[in-house]
Structure 1
Amino acid sequence: MGGTRVRTRYGRFGGALAAVVAVLATLAPVSPPAHAAPAPSVAPDPFFTYAGSTPLRELAPGTVLKTRTLPYRVAGVPLPLRVVQIVFRTTDQQGRAVAGVTSVIKPLTGTTSRVISYQSFYDSLDPEHGPSRAIAGSTAPGAMAAHVETVLMAAFLLRGYAIVMADTEGPTADFAAGPEYGRVTLDSIRAALRTPATGIAPAAKVGLVGYSGGAIATNWAAVLAPSYAPDVDRRLVGAAEGGVLVRPAANLRYVDGSRIWAGVIPMAVVGVARGFGIDLMPYLSDEGRRIYARLEKAPIIEVLGAYPGLTWADLTQPAYADPASIPAFVRTVNQLNLGTRPNPTVPMFIGQGTGGQLEGTRGDRPGLGKGDGVMLAGDVRSLARKYCAGGVDVVHREYPLSHFTSVPLWLPDAIAWLGARFAGRPAPDNCASIPAGNPLTPLAPAR
């Protein structure tokens, strides 16, 4: 009888998820024309802001600041799914104590000892586009990624896992600032484990998973966990990621002038300047300044395909057409090179597409080779081989498709791999068969 009730509940929830998929399938990332009027502004939800009397710097990372429980909402419509939202203390890209936020989608079967930390690919320069805002009822198009991603993780949810989805870019949406993504992810896990209302058991194990922007957070969390959050590192069963950003300086060369992904260049300029607190305006051309101002709160859905053929040289003054001629830029992007960072201590599943020409990105640039349209396959191979050389069990797979079209192949592989890690099966590896990749050398300053 109890089993019948559980199956019925799963069936109803599955129907709700199917409805979400049907709604989201009608949404396409269409960029508004340049003259379009801005969307009406909505007052930020005060829940996401910390106003306590204790300075954040006096609190330990992961400290729970406040919580609330609410139904999961899609475009304001509540679903039969409960979410615990948590505001917690974390650390931004400049080492400052800030307030982060995460949403814990509660397990359907009561208490659970299995947790998926799902890192979102919401990719935006506006903090109001974070997954927690979407789950709370935001109708902003830039916030809709979270609903697609919850559907992607339904296989875990229906098996009784809890899902933790942090707003990984932090309170100021520091797009592409990888170390901040990683710290926010780790502190969100700490906060979720410390909040009894989530239904997470005290001794729960955690798996990391994320694609694209979510892979930035996943990989940095795995790399930083041993030093920044050893308490979390001990709970991790593994990290699964796809569409991986390894060496941003190389990726900017790869998408330079591309049809769909070129707009990521100014997005990264805005996000990195904001996250690291550097001023790149003196180096920008008039057109670069106009685009910079236009994108200061833009989500990626307003950028993809909106700047076909845009190059770095279009954004900068002639003297700075080579990114390596800007010392602040060189210092910053080299801090984001995963090839120079320590290895993780947990098993890794890494998937990467190689068919970027399907999305209008050349695959024949010297020293770069093929990619998926935005991420470089050769860089990912080298990172996987680096981890293998350090004793990490790595499964690396390539898909002959683009960034978007690789997801249907990567996701089942990632889910199956993580399921095996939670089941306690030994982590496999294919280290011996991973082809050689690109050198992961830092960007050298121009002379």
Structure 2
Amino acid sequence: MGGRRVSTRAGKPAGMPRLMVAVFSATLATTLGSVPAVMAQAPESFYSYDGAEPLASLAPGAVLKTRTLEYHADTFATPLTTIQVLYRSTDSLGNPTANVTTIIKPPAPATGAAKVVSFLSAYDSLNPAHSPSRAFAADIELTGLSDPLSDIASSEVQFFAPLLMAGYTIVIPDTEGPAADFAAGPEYGRTTLDSLRAARHVTTLSGIDDTTKIGLMGYSGGAIAANWAAIEAPSYAPDINEDLIGVAEGGVLVDPAHNLNYVAGSPIWAGVIGMAIVGISRSFDVDFSKYLSDTGRRVLEEMQDASIMNVLAQYPGLTWAQMALPEYADPNSIPEYVDVVNKLNMGTAPTPTVPMFIAQGANGILEGTPAHPGFGAGDGVMITGDVRALANQYCAAGLAVQYDQYDAHSHVTALIAWAPAAQKWLIDRFDNQPAPTNCGNIPAGNPLTPERHAHQL
């Protein structure tokens, strides 16, 4: 389990609860009326670096390969030009990687200087085959999709299409990196920042240069990338940080150790426990197998290349205790676990330097997850009190934060409320309007203190 296993198995979700099916199907139906079809199938060889110069000797963001694809759709007056770039980035352990980003140029540029929104996909998968770049490079037919619920990246187009039509250039990195390191927040941040560096390096193709202003936008898995990119930008990519105008995010994973307890035993989201363990095992090269029960080994083997759609409602009632040997029923008894989840806690990471729009649902019972006795309510998978705590922490550091809480919404339904609000918030930042803030009026949240090894308690 410590190795970086990559395979191409694609599964089909079964037995999904009716609420989830209805929401995702409605999202897909809306999308099918507006998603442009990409007319070229991309070769897999594009994803491998084969240059003579060692990858480690190249600077993060260095361009390794480029290719151009054409979009065609009746709803656009002109075809959209799409550029894909293979670029150098950095994984969770500091190793160089070759990753891909997709740059979608608008049918007509915005007036004045170019404007870029880095849209961070919530493709949430342990399979590189599910990356946004592959979704956009595939020969997508708008009718007869065999497994539409498995192609999350394609169905997200509707959430940035209004910005695209308003003249914004959209940059969509494969945030999880080439090995699909699910839930590895800092790596998500670096792949995002380096994708923007790469977009600047292909100015003649992208129209993006080192003066172009940039906004970050992401929900759920996309919010992992957006927030971690903002966290890491001042130190990892100050050249990008100076041009960031703000972050619009929703459904935020703040402290994974809390979330493991919140979703445990739930009917829909419990399987995410296994996905996260596979993801952090892969990204930080940690072998958890010696701590697992037969059930745990079976679950993790099944998830090695699963997407979120293969996991939702497929492991109802699953808990960490079921996956672990009896002596490791408390995950904090595992030193490697404690070390890794503390690295993924946004609350103990450096503070961003840009305005933030943060939205969070609080009605997780709609998706079957009750309030946790220690951490309170959430949206079904993310914990509302954790997100409030992060927002208050950023307020205390002097950031302009607008925090919106959707008390009637769960994780899936809150996306529909968040998307138009996020678009408007970003447009206002690009228009140089003062960033709104409700700091001082955000209710208190949960402590975001680091986890401690069980022997220290």
TM-score normalized by the length of structure 1: 0.88
Distance in 1, matches of 2:426 and 2:417, equals 15
| Secondary structure of 1:192 counterpart | helix
2:126 touches 2:275 (CA, 8 Å); kept in 1?
yes
Per mean C-alpha deviation after superposition, the further-off stretch among 169-178 and 202-211 is 202-211
Distance in 2, matches of 1:150 and 1:80, equals 15
Residues 330-369 of structure 1: CA distance to partner in whole angstroms, max 9, x if unpaired?
1000110011011100000000000000000011x22200
Distance in 2, matches of 1:52 and 1:183, equals 22
Which residue of 31, 36, 61 maps to 1:21? 31
1:124 touches 1:142 (CA, 8 Å); kept in 2?
no
Residues 221-253 of structure 1: CA distance to partner in whole angstroms, max 9, x if unpaired?
001000000000011000000000000000000
Q: Aligned residues, how many?
A: 410
Partner residue of 1:13?
A: none
Unaligned runs of 5+ in 2: 1-26, 36-40, 141-146
Distance in 2, matches of 1:121 and 1:114, equals 22
Asked if 1:375 corresponds to 2:382, the answer is yes
Shift in CA distance, 18/264, structure 1 to aligned 2, threshold 3 Å: closer
Partner residue of 1:274?
A: 282
1:73 touches 1:137 (CA, 8 Å); kept in 2?
no
1:206 maps to a residue whose letter is I
2:159 maps to a residue whose letter is L
Distance in 1, matches of 2:292 and 2:375, equals 26
Shift in CA distance, 20/372, structure 1 to aligned 2, threshold 3 Å: closer
Asked if 1:301 corresponds to 2:309, the answer is yes
Cα displacement (A) at 1:72: 4.0
Residues 38-81 of structure 1: CA distance to partner in whole angstroms, max 9, x if unpaired?
xxxx997110111111111100000011100012489xxxx932
Distance in 2, matches of 1:43 and 1:415, equals 30
| Secondary structure of 1:293 counterpart | helix
Residues 269-313 of structure 1: CA distance to partner in whole angstroms, max 9, x if unpaired?
000000000000111111111111111000100000101111111
Which residue of 393, 398, 419 maps to 1:391? 398
Matches within 5 A, 1:4-43: 21-22=31-32
TM-score normalized by the length of structure 2: 0.86
Cα displacement (A) at 1:412: 1.4
Matches within 5 A, 1:354-433: 354-363=362-371, 365-400=372-407, 401-433=409-441
2:99 touches 2:177 (CA, 8 Å); kept in 1?
yes
RMSD, matched Cα: 2.1
1:83 maps to a residue whose letter is T
1:240 touches 1:350 (CA, 8 Å); kept in 2?
yes
Cα displacement (A) at 1:144: 1.5
Distance in 1, matches of 2:290 and 2:28, equals 49
1:72 touches 1:136 (CA, 8 Å); kept in 2?
no
Shift in CA distance, 331/175, structure 1 to aligned 2, threshold 3 Å: same
Residues 174-215 of structure 1: CA distance to partner in whole angstroms, max 9, x if unpaired?
000000000000000110111120132552100000000000
Matches within 5 A, 1:92-111: 92-110=91-109
Cα displacement (A) at 1:110: 4.6
Distance in 2, matches of 1:72 and 1:312, equals 45
Unaligned runs of 5+ in 1: 1-16, 26-41
Cα displacement (A) at 1:142: 7.4
Percent of aligned pairs sharing the same letter: 55
Which residue of 198, 223, 229 maps to 1:191? 198
Distance in 2, matches of 1:325 and 1:44, equals 45
Shift in CA distance, 107/143, structure 1 to aligned 2, threshold 3 Å: farther
Distance in 2, matches of 1:19 and 1:285, equals 42
1:131 touches 1:143 (CA, 8 Å); kept in 2?
no
| Secondary structure of 2:453 counterpart | coil
Q: Which structure is richer in relative contact order (CA contacts within 8 A, separation 6 or more)? A: 2
Cα displacement (A) at 1:158: 0.3
